[in-house]
Amino acid sequence: MVNQSSKATSDQSLGRQNVEELPQLLILHPGPIFSMHESLFEKKFSLLKAWESPESIHHFLTTHAQSTRAILCSSVTPITAEILSLLPSLCVIACENTGVELIDLMECRKRGIYVTNAGPAFSQDVADMAVGLLLAVAMRIPASDRYIRARGWSDHQCFPPRTFKLRGKHVGIVGFGNIGSEVAKRLEAFGCKISYNSRKQKPSIPYEFYPQVIDLAYNCNVLIICCALTDQTRHMINRDVLKSLGENGIIVNVGRGSIIHERELVTSLMSREIAGAGLDVFENEPNVPNELFELDNVVLTPHRGAFTEEVFSNAFKLTMANLEAFFSNKPLITAIKQYD
């Protein structure tokens, strides 16, 4: 699989300035981390920018990328089986983000292609966002802010007291990876009881495990969705789960929009089957169901749980470290476990 071009680059130090001698890095569409750090990637790699070419993607890949061993992708780049079939030398897919749901992982497994992500760079900030959204819904913070800015307070208009006290509440975390464990740590300090649902029970975790998400919902006051989007988790949170959470329950989603059945969530919120929702992710971003705009018990943020400058910088470093590890024949830093 190692052809002349890739052999030449893998033998070389990554510090060289001669573009001809740098290892090739293919990018189909630029993501935010790449866009912000393009010049730094350029110093280390010979960049193959597919999106700049007038050629069809099929023609571009078969003409220019036959020796390409590494691809950098983002959350807006599907890596399908068809694309993989056009890249015979590909060994590693480095994602600059967390979610890898647009990558055909089964095909990667078949072809022995490693996939890395930058998840750990984002997890603490995403956990902060999950707790921020929960507090914003529970304490009606954006609704209060709207009420004051609309001069409701100074005009002595009625504003209902909030009814949701955090202490003593039972919080169910769906997906107990990096983000889920950071959320748990924060909410314990607020006096919440934590339980979780995950693909399988994790013996090292001291919280109660619920194999079925509907049972977790039934026993909890809050559900926080922190898992990855997979065939198994798509639409896992449907109306039955929301009904189990109940009319005093709050749901927060910092995972992926499609983990929740969005139409059913809208129905549940409009008919007050649940008390509120804090949503950073949606099924069809950047489109958000219009019905939600009318609801005071919903808090909406534009999929930017982790959009801080520090996080961008950390995600860049981690993505680069994975690529450098690959081209130096060292262990990848954050390889996705494809057989978990």
CB closer to its own copies out of 88 and 246 = 246
CB closer to its own copies out of 42 and 188 = 188
Active-site annotation holder among 186, 199, 303, 304: 303
x-marked contacts with its own copies along 267-306 as a string, rule CB under 8 A: ------------------xxxx----x-----xxxx-x--
What b/e readout covers 271-294, taking b as 16+ CB neighbours within 10 angstroms?
A: eebbbbbbbbbbbeeeebbeebee
Separation CA 309–CA 169 (nearest Å): 33
Q: Where are the beta strands (DSSP E) in 212-257?
A: 222-225, 250-253
Nearest approach, Cβ of residue 33 and its own copies (Å): 12
Query: Looking at 109-117, 123-131, 173-181, 233-241, which segment touches its own copies (CB under 8 A)?
Result: 123-131
Angle, helix 119-138 to helix 141-149, in steps of 10 degrees: 60
Q: Do 42 and 72 form a contact (C-beta atoms < 8 A)?
A: no
Q: How far is CA 73 from CA 32, 230, 275, 328, in A?
A: 10, 18, 38, 20
Asked whether position 147 contacts its own copies by CB under 8 A, the answer is yes
Question: Is 256 a residue of the active site?
Answer: yes
Question: Is 111 a residue of the active site?
Answer: no
Question: Is 239 a residue of the active site?
Answer: no
Separation CA 183–CA 48 (nearest Å): 39
Give Cβ neighbours of residue 162 (< 8 Å, ≥ 6 apart).
Answer: 138, 139, 140
User: How many chain residues touch its own copies (CB under 8 A)?
Assistant: 52
Query: Looking at 16-24, 59-67, 135-143, 213-221, which segment touches its own copies (CB under 8 A)?
Result: 135-143
Q: Where are the beta strands (DSSP E) in 109-165?
A: 114-116
Look up tokens 């890249």; give the residue: 87
Nearest approach, Cβ of residue 235 and its own copies (Å): 22
x-marked contacts with its own copies along 182-221 as a string, rule CB under 8 A: ---xx-xxxx------------------------------
Active-site annotation holder among 42, 247, 285, 310: 285
Nearest approach, Cβ of residue 206 and its own copies (Å): 16
Rg of the chain over Cα atoms, rounded to whole angstroms, equals 23
For β-strands 298-300 and 193-197, DSSP reports them as unpaired
Asked whether position 125 contacts its own copies by CB under 8 A, the answer is yes
Minimal CA–CA distance to 99: which of 2, 228, 230?
228
Q: Scanning residues 300 to 339, which ones bind its own copies (CB under 8 A)? A: 300-302, 304, 307-312
Minimal CA–CA distance to 285: which of 253, 258, 252, 250?
258
x-marked contacts with its own copies along 157-186 as a string, rule CB under 8 A: --x-xxxxxxx-----------------xx
Q: What does the block give as tokens for 198? A: 């995950």
The residues binding its own copies (CB under 8 A) are 124-125, 128-129, 131-133, 135-136, 138-139, 141-142, 144-149, 153-154, 156, 159, 161-167, 185-186, 188-191, 285-288, 293, 299-302, 304, 307-312
Write out the catalytic residue numbers: 256, 285, 303
